[in-house]
Structure 1
Amino acid sequence: MKRPNSLSWLTVFGFGLAIVPLVLVIVSITLTISRFAEEGQSSILRAVALSDSANRMANAVRSMERYGLQYTVLQDSALLVLFQQSFEEYQQVSKRFAAAGPSVVDQKRLHRLDENLAKARRALPLAALEGGRGSLDQSFSTASREMQQLQEDVNDGISAQVKHLGDRALKIKRLTLYEVLLALPLTIVVAIFFIILITRPIKRLDRAISSLGDGDLASPIQVNGPKDIAALGDRLEWLRQHLQELEATKIHFLRQLSHELKTPLTAIREGSELLQEDLGQGLAAEQREIVDIVRDNSLRLQRLIEDLLRFSVAEGPAVSAGMRHPIPLHDVIEELLQSYKPLLRSKGMRVDQQIAELWTAAHRDRIRTICDNLLSNAVKFSPQGSTIRVRLWQDGEEAVLDVIDSGPGVAPKERDKIFDILYRGSASESGKIEGSGLGLAITREYVLSYGGSLEILDSEGQGAHFQVRLPSIQHDSFSPESERLRRDAGEQTRAP
């Protein structure tokens, strides 16, 4: 099938093709009703002509009979003239009746009526002269019966014609209904077909643009459809490739920059540690304070560089699903909590944990980063002597991790911005708590890359409530040995 030149041409063609069945139905109904109207009009005019002519003929026959019988008694020539006038009127009306198209039976009956009236007209002078009325009465009686029967036939014919028109109207109504019932589904099917044909490439463009907006630069963009839409899809594919190249360049630049910065930072940190540990005894108090400041800020700068590099990797193309491994979430969380014990003990804090055994398909280092960022935030923002609550539970086909601290919480107006890069909430901006503003941004990017969600929920008391939802899997088909190998591989990846 040849590809249409443009979306507008396809829309016009689809609209025209969709209304063709309706146009055909309208034309068919119009022609049928027009023929029915003509037929009805002709039938009505014929029925009116036959009925009027029959009534006038009946009046003329009665007048002829009355004037003829009176003439035989009174012998008044004026009555004979009136009889003749009635006979002539009858002849004129009978011609119109015959021209109106009566049935064959009525034509024969009209012929017999003419013969009886002509016989009565011939017998009238003889009946008056001879004084006998037998033949005249018989002719008038026969003519009256024929006229009465003719009127009944006309009325019956009109009734039959009316019934025929009614049946015809009912048939047209049914035919119209059938045509509409046939045309409407056909129109709807054609319309739906072209709607799908028109909206499918637009939806593909929308998905492609959404994917680019979400940072998915690995999936090729291919849009089929009209030439102008396909050309737009090609431009988006070019943009995706260009963005992918820029992303790769950015990551390469950040890695190079991180490496270049880490080298002098390592020298500064080691020099400050050497001054602090080995040569610190010979330094004055102010000099030791300067050395401590240099060491602390070098460590802070190093963490900031590592967070920035980690975020650039998180924003990059999603890692292929085929490279994911079954990760025990409970083990990762318990290992992190074990590593936080010295810090928790120094701050007099405790952890209330309820952790179920749940697994997810992911990468161990990323899952560890997700949990580590949430736990480190909870420890960082919670006051001394407080309690941190950690919950890992199953909800349908999702593994849900809740981390609830006892800190100042997140203001409602900040909840939409708290996951933005380099955004620091009011608690951090107060200067009491340090942070780079990258941890939650990295956490969200990692969670979204696995098809999960990260939200801030309302807490029952004071503090922030972060909830992570990740797709859970069954781990029955994975052996402990294979998991140990994966864990070892993850630890080697995290090793400096």
Structure 2
Amino acid sequence: MWPRPRSLVHLLLASFVLVTLPLLTAVYQADQSMQQLVGQSRHMVTAGIEAARLSQDVKEILVDMERRARQFQVLENPQILALYRGDHERVSHKLTRLHQSTETTEDRATLEQLQSQLNANWTLLQEQPGAEQAARVVTGFHNIHQQARALNMAAANQIDRELSSLQQAVEHSQQQLFVHASLMGPITLLLIVITTFLINRPIGQLDQAIRGLGGGCFKQPIAVDGPRDLAFLGERLEWLRERLNQLEQQKTQFLRHISHELKTPLAGMREGTELLGDRIIGPLTPQQDNVVKILDTNSRYLQKLIENLLDYNHIQTGVELNPEPFEMVELVAEVVAHYRLSATRKNLRFQLPDEEWHLVADRAKVRTALDNLVSNAVNFSPQNGWIRIQIRVASDHQVLDIRDQGPGVPEGERTQIFEPFFQGSTPRQGHLKGSGIGLSIAHECIAAHGARLTLGDNCDGACFRIEWPMAKAAS
């Protein structure tokens, strides 16, 4: 099992070393090949120069020896014989050095034959010094010079062989460098991919965890695999997730509790208001009737807020759909009828669709969405305005538009309009302030069916658009 790096810096350094290692290996191998070629070429030059110099020296000494043999043949002077002896020792020494540097058997045989003949000549002169023996030695120098020329040719051939060997070594080194470069490239690329993955994986896990927390997803545990500092950061995020999850559960429980606690006294208030409004306890004066209407309006609004809180709490815990077939036009008319009284007070006119739209969906969820959208249109519409609800087919979508003549949504708030508890800067008509969760509930109810609730272009007021895929509408 690989040890975990202590920090991201250590991981980066290790990745850098790992990626550069193949390149450093290739550079080292290239350097070794170059040093080997340089050494081989230096040896070739040195050996070639040495062989050529020795061959030339042998040739010159042999000329001197032949001249001394001729002089001794004529003069028979012992001093000339002594000089011949010195030349013989010199040439023997140089032939020995040539023999040591010669590589081929044929060249060595030539050297040995030349040395043998020179030794025989010297032995002849040494044992029987005289003109006759000197003449025989002079005659033998013809063959000796031929062998010397052959020796020069052998030295030249040796240089050619060294050059050929050096050329082969260069070609071999080039092939090795090409093979190493061909291998090092993919290996380096593979190591780059691996190290990039090792670096990006914990960062990606942190990014995913932070996005999940920001999006309100507290169920998925957070675990970060990577350097210890990033793993520790993942542990702190896991602690934060657990804490947020606890707070979310407490909030959900609180909303459920407070909503149900408010509904009980509200039911008594609504019942008392209805009794007063129905004149069960007796006739009312105009002032009393006005107070009853105010109580009825505010109690209905409070009931709407409580229902929104319950719907929001239910959506946060997970939307469960109970699909059933129904007619969208009938559902729209049902929702609009609920707001007839509020619309009459503001002298609003509704333009309802007459197109048929048979839908299979959770009727209660769709009604909740329409209820919040129509409520929003009524609250923001001016006196004597109109609210138009249209149904049409666009490409592979069924579209429902709810338009009003209100002030619309400012450009800077269009991306936030469906966020929970967001209240825009545009004031709504009336003295009651909204809760900011109606549009969020509508958005979640529509999205749970695989459809979309969007905000259309602001032409003359606001336009909320439901885009329902045909496949979803028929399923």
* TM-score in terms of structure 2 length: 0.74
Question: Separation in 2 of the partners of 1:28 and 1:212?
Answer: 52
Distance 1:10 1:132 in 2: 89
Tell me how far apart the structure 2 counterparts of residues 227 and 449 of structure 1 sit (CA, whole Å). 39
1:236-288: per-residue Cα shift (whole Å, max 9, x none)? 55544443343233222222222222333333333334334417985444443
Distance 1:445 1:16 in 2: 51
| Matched ranges for 1:181-330 at <5 A | 181-182=182-183, 185-186=186-187, 188-189=189-190, 192-193=193-194, 196=197, 199-200=200-201, 202-217=203-218, 219-221=219-221, 223=223, 225=225, 236-237=237-238, 239-278=240-279, 283-314=284-315, 316-319=316-319, 323-326=320-323
Indicate conservation of the 8 Å contact 2:22/2:187, yes or no. yes
Asked if 1:174 is matched to 2:172, the reply is: no
The CA deviation at 1:417 is 3.0
- How far is the alpha carbon of 1:349 from its aligned partner? 3.9
Quick one: distance in 1 between partners of 2:336 and 2:111? 123
**TM, length-normalised to structure 1:** 0.71
Identity value in percent: 28
| Contact 1:403–1:467 (8 Å) recurs in 2 | yes
Equivalent-residue separation in structure 1 for 2:466 and 2:141 (angstroms): 112
Equivalent residue for 2:95?
Answer: 94
Partner of 1:464: 462
3-state SS in 1 of match to 2:455: strand
**Structure-2 residue corresponding to 1:331:** 327
Contact residue 263 and residue 303 of structure 2 kept, 8 A? yes
* Structure 1 residue 414, shift from structure 2 partner: 2.0
1:145 aligns with 2:141: no
Instruction: Check the 8 A contact 2:377/2:387 in 1, yes or no.
Output: no
Instruction: Compute the displacement of 1:106 (Å).
Output: 1.8
Cα deviation for residue 295 of structure 1 reads 2.5
Whole-Å Cα distance in 2 between the matches of residues 422 and 281 of structure 1? 42
Match of 2:369 in 1: 370
SS in 1 for 2:369: helix
> Cα distance, 1:29 vs. partner?
5.5
Where structure 1 has 5 or more consecutive residues not aligned to the other structure, the ranges are 479-496
Give the Cα separation in 2 of the matches to 1:171 and 1:307: 83
Q: Distance in 1 between matches of 2:306 and 2:49?
A: 105
- Paired position in structure 2 for 1:420: 419
Aligned length, in residue pairs = 464
Distance 1:53 1:274, change over 3 A: same
What's the offset of the Cα at 1:440?
Answer: 1.7
Q: Distance in 2 between matches of 1:416 and 1:435?
A: 19
Residue 113 (structure 2) aligns with: 112
SS at match of 1:290: helix
Is 1:7–1:198's contact at 8 Å kept on the other side of the alignment?
A: no
1:127/1:133 contact within 8 Å kept = no
2: CA distance, partners of 1:287 / 1:258:
30
Q: 1:441 to 1:472 in 2, by over 3 A?
A: same
Structure 2: runs of 5+ lacking an equivalent: none
**Where in structure 2 are the equivalents of 1:475-494 lying within 5 Å?**
none
Q: Any conservation in 2 of the 1:221–1:234 contact (CA below 8 Å)? A: no
Cα distance in 1 between the residues matched to 2:360 and 2:35: 76
Q: In 2, distance between residues paired with 1:327 and 1:6?
A: 57
SS in 2 for 1:428: coil
Q: Which amino acid aligns with 2:259?
A: S
1:97-138 per-position Cα deviation (integer Å, ceiling 9, x unaligned):
3343443322222233344556777899999957997973x5
Offset at 1:359? 5.7
Distance 1:120 1:256, change over 3 A: same
Residue matched to 1:491: none
- Give the root-mean-square deviation of aligned CA atoms: 4.9
